[in-house]
Amino acid sequence: MKKHKRAFINILQALILILPFLACNIGKDIISQNQYGVFLSIEDNLSQFDEYETVVIDAQYFSAEEIMSFKESGHKVYSYINVGALEDYRDYYSKYEYLALGDYEHWDEEVWIDVSSEEWQRFILDELAPMLKDKGIDGFFVDNCDVYYQYPREEIMAGLTDIMQGLIATDLDVIINGGDVYLNAYCEAGGSWNEVITGINQETVFSKITWNGDVFGSNSKDDREYFGEYVEKYAALGADIYLLEYTKDSKLIKEIDSYCKEHGFKYYISDSVELDG
């Protein structure tokens, strides 16, 4: 009986020694998973994201006071800005819908936009971006530079570059969402990545959207390698890298977590393509 009691005491002492270590490491895991969050369908109550260091929101639907209050509690805020497509729910849709280039697959409320239009460029750089900047955001989360992938023409490249360089000129962070074909083409033509971006957010490196509701799978080996090489290439040059994945698969989540920790990338995993938290 004494031997069992002594063994029990030894176990308790060992637990006392290792529990602080375990708690510390668990805390680190929680922190790493909550460094970054993308919430594009949320239009109120930023305080619900207090656990995140950096959040991406659609700042058009928040006041400067709300954003500044959130930042004062230690957060970084990026705003979504759609430069390559136009959504029918924006209050400026009817003014610019004549510039539509074509339908946007899987997104019925959206059309690709002609970024070579000087009128569109002026709107982005002289109206929309300044309005968002005045709200106190830290940077832009720039969507749909893939318009160049859809319409790989000289004038689209030039128009997109004017927009991206204009955003860089605001002295805020400029995170391109995807945009691999545009960014690679720009650099291959002699441009430098940091003339048009400060970082990359890449969606679905590991996961895959089936476009049948919120049903997800795993990306192919070839696609995973391609996007991995893309982000790692620019990370080595100094770009900030973020991954945005869509999955409910715990095994895949562990792979994403391990990969991002190994490379020093931030990531967010959503269970909804609507990014509604």
pLDDT digits (tens, 9 = 90+) for 200-242: 999 999 999 876 666 688 999 999 999 999 999 999 999 999 9
Of 192, 262, 195, the C-alpha closest to 232 is 262
Of 149, 84, 91, the C-alpha closest to 113 is 84
For residue 104, pLDDT beyond 80: yes
Query: How does pLDDT run across 17-72, given as a tens digit for each residue?
Result: 444 444 334 333 333 457 899 999 888 889 999 999 999 999 999 999 999 999 99
CATH number assigned to the domain with residue range 35-270, chosen from the 4 options 3.40.50.300, 3.30.1950.10, 1.20.5.440, 3.20.20.70: 3.20.20.70
Q: Report d(CA 55, CA 46) in Å as an integer.
A: 9
Tokens (6 digits) for 78: 């990026």
